[in-house]
Amino acid sequence: MLRKLLSLMIAVGMLSLLATSATAGVFLPQSSTLEIKLGALQNFTVQGTYNNGGWATLTNNGADHDLSDTTGVWTTAGNAVGTSLLTGVALISNLTLTVTNLAGNFTAGFSALNPVGGGLSPASATPNSGTLCPGGCLGGTEGFNGKLILALAGFPNATMPLTNNLGVGGTTVVSLLGQTIPVEFGPFITGKVRITGIGTNVISMPDRGNVTGVAVTLVPAATEEVKTFTTLGGFVTTNPGGILETQGTVVLSGTNNLASASQAGQVTLISPIRFDVGALGLPVLPGFASKTFVFVPEPGTVLLLVSGAAGLVFIGRKRMKG
């Protein structure tokens, strides 16, 4: 009896070892998204695709997982979000996005200076303000080719170049109504990032119209809806019925929900954006790009576990009868 029990335990151990070594997360591009948002303007959401040969892969890195993707997972051309009714800014009649991601490699333990953290050094910064992932997280750079075009009523279009800036870092400039608007970008991370030096975290109050960038104290009525830009989850709707003070900092956050056993789950990498429209009498405004990867267990792994478990049950029953 002891010998049979020992044999079953060894078989279970071998099965677990095989399942672990064979584990690999399978990328689901059509469940994965790229999102780009600037201030209170209408956001872009681009669904992933493998039609262009794009793919994402997980690699074990000790207790963590590195992640890489190839060119073309997210591709869109002439993606327009609509009119001023959608953008909430009467001057902007349309927003159009053309973009294709390049290859990227995101590793565990990534850390870098925060380009939108107010220029603070790690020594003088408050937590997560001067440094991206001070304790290390999943992150890295990934470039894009493309541009974002703002169609302005009665004026020439304004073009924001995204090539070699978005998802990498650095600063680009946009010519808007004859003024130069600097735009700063940062790399992708799963941790938190602070965007400092902005005018306010109040994005919009629908009952008053668009009030993005109001750098004064607001006193909303108890019936007024207030939307604030606080996390990667998007707008947070509140109804405080009290004073809203001007805020100079917002916090964005990515997520890493991979299951270590099956390499299944979801990863959201956040890339901060800060654009200074002070030349137009408006404050510095926040934005972000985010990439959400969805993985499921490899079908072969699931089959191995199911068939192995069934085999163990069969062996156990046979030996008990014997």
- The pLDDT score that the predictor gives to residue 262 is 64
Q: How far apart are CA 79 and CA 291, in angstroms?
A: 17
Residue type, 257: N
Higher pLDDT, 95 or 145: 145
Bridge-based pairing of strands 188-189 and 255-256 is unpaired
Structural domain boundaries of the chain?
Answer: 1-23+299-322, 25-297
Structure token digits, residue 45: 């959401």
The answer to whether residue 12 scores a pLDDT higher than 50 is no
Backbone angles phi, psi at 313, to 5 degrees: -60, -45
The answer to whether residue 225 scores a pLDDT higher than 50 is yes
pTM assigned to the model:
0.76
Neighbours of 243 (CB within 10 A): 9
Asked if 253 contacts 137 with a C-beta cutoff of 8 angstroms, the reply is no
The answer to whether residue 223 scores a pLDDT higher than 80 is no
| Least confident stretch, 61-75, 130-144, 166-180, 296-310 | 296-310
pLDDT, tens only, 118-153: 655 556 666 667 888 888 899 999 999 999 998 887
Percentage above 90 pLDDT, the chain: 34
Helices 299-321 and 2-22: crossing angle, nearest 10°?
170
The answer to whether residue 14 scores a pLDDT higher than 70 is no
The answer to whether residue 162 scores a pLDDT higher than 50 is yes
113: pLDDT confidence band, cut at 50, 70 and 90? confident
Question: Whose CA is closest to 200, among 210, 215, 211?
Answer: 215
- The pLDDT score that the predictor gives to residue 13 is 45
- The pLDDT score that the predictor gives to residue 321 is 52
- The pLDDT score that the predictor gives to residue 124 is 61
Asked if 192 contacts 128 with a C-beta cutoff of 8 angstroms, the reply is yes
Q: How far apart are CA 91 and CA 138, in angstroms?
A: 39
Q: How far apart are CA 20 and CA 65, in angstroms?
A: 14
The answer to whether residue 255 scores a pLDDT higher than 80 is yes
Asked if 266 contacts 254 with a C-beta cutoff of 8 angstroms, the reply is no
